[in-house]
Amino acid sequence: MLSVEEINEIQNEIKQYPYPKVACIDALKIVQQHRAWVSDESVSDIAELLGMSAEEVDGIATFYSRIYRQPVGRNIILICDSVSCMIMGYESLYEYLSKKLKIRFGETTSDGRFTILPNSCLGDCDNAPAMMVNNDHFNRLTIEKLDEILDRYK
């Protein structure tokens, strides 16, 4: 069940648009801000609020890679796996991170600190390899840089 705060925030978004459906991505983002991810139950609650089917909301949620439909860690690492980053060594960085954190793509560390996800081009090909942690962008990555970056996130 959505909280009163979530419902109020979604209602405020709905007011900005001619049709409630248009606020779908905003509603998903609001719920994710509150809960870190969007469960099936939340998808159904959003659908009811917007006059949509749960399938329609789920279709939108799964289209956007940054709407998380499964529980995630406190910090999300998005590693670019597109062409420039691949050429510039993304695979060895991913293997290093994966070994260090003992998780593979889509998994979360046992302490809930990190989730690693693949991501298509982050728009920083000139400075590949690149990744994001939460909303922070990092580029020209090296293994040494990765160690220093991870230490910033608890």
Q: Site residues (CB under 6 A) for ligand FES?
A: 80, 82-85, 121-125, 128, 130
Minimum CB separation of residue 132 from ligand FES in Å reads 10
Of 82 and 115, CB closest to ligand FES = 82
Minimum CB separation of residue 145 from ligand FES in Å reads 15
Report DSSP letters for 12-58, one per residue: HHHTTSSSGGGGHHHHHHHHHHHHSS--HHHHHHHHHHHT--HHHHH
Of 121 and 150, CB closest to ligand FES = 121
Contact 143, 96 (CB under 8 A): yes
Of 55 and 126, CB closest to ligand FES = 126
Minimum CB separation of residue 118 from ligand FES in Å reads 11
d(CA 88, CA 106): 22
Torsion sign over Cα 135, 136, 139, 144: negative
Minimum CB separation of residue 130 from ligand FES in Å reads 4
Of 32 and 82, CB closest to ligand FES = 82
Closest CA to 98 of 139, 41, 143, 61: 143
